[in-house]
């Protein structure tokens, strides 16, 4: 899990991402290797990872999508654009297929967790164990997440 730990140290460093192409290149190189490690750690049967460099003023986005089985997968994405975000820095959620870009409710953890593969695995595997529930429960959770997201957006204006 060498690359997951390296990614954590890179994300926790004081090095700025904006207007820093060297950081972006390191983030891409280390991040892609870390996403492969994470996919193997999570025992994903199918996965893909992607780095979107974005523009000069951002770190870029690193994303992993993978499936444990039919209708049972995970989406993980991170960047360094909001390093002190109170909700966390790494977004993850359940997905039903490899083109599911909306998935289940957003969940978050801090960059620090990337240093602890066992704890990281336990956190993310909770999506696999918990599944997404039946249709009605799923819709209720999705609506609640949207309301909370709207409330959060309005409170930050």
> Residue 134 has what pLDDT?
36
Inter-axis angle of helices 21-41 and 2-12, nearest 10: 140
Structure tokens at 141: 């959770």
> Residue 5 has what pLDDT?
97
Domain of 143? 2-155
pTM for the full predicted model: 0.80
How confident is the model over 129-146, as pLDDT tens digits?
554 433 334 445 446 656
Structure tokens at 40: 């193997």
Q: Which residue has the higher pLDDT, 145 or 128?
A: 128
CA gap 125, 128 in Å, rounded: 5
Report how many domains make up the chain. Answer: 1
């Amino acid at each position: 899990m060498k690359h997951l730990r390296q990614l954590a140290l890179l994300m926790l460093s004081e090095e700025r991402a904006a207007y820093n192409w060297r950081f972006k290149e390191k983030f891409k190189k280390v991040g892609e290797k870390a996403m492969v490690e994470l996919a193997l750690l999570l025992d994903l049967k199918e996965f893909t990872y992607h780095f979107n460099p974005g523009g000069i003023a951002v770190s870029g986005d690193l994303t992993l999508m993978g499936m444990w089985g039919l209708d049972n997968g995970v989406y993980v994405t991170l960047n360094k654009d909001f390093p002190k975000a109170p909700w966390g820095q790494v977004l993850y959620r359940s997905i039903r297929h490899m083109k599911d870009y909306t998935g289940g409710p957003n969940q978050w953890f801090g960059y620090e967790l990337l240093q602890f593969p066992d704890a990281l695995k336990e956190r993310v595997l909770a999506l696999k164990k918990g599944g997404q529930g039946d249709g009605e429960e799923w819709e209720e959770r999705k609506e609640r997440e949207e309301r909370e997201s709207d409330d959060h957006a309005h409170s930050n204006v």
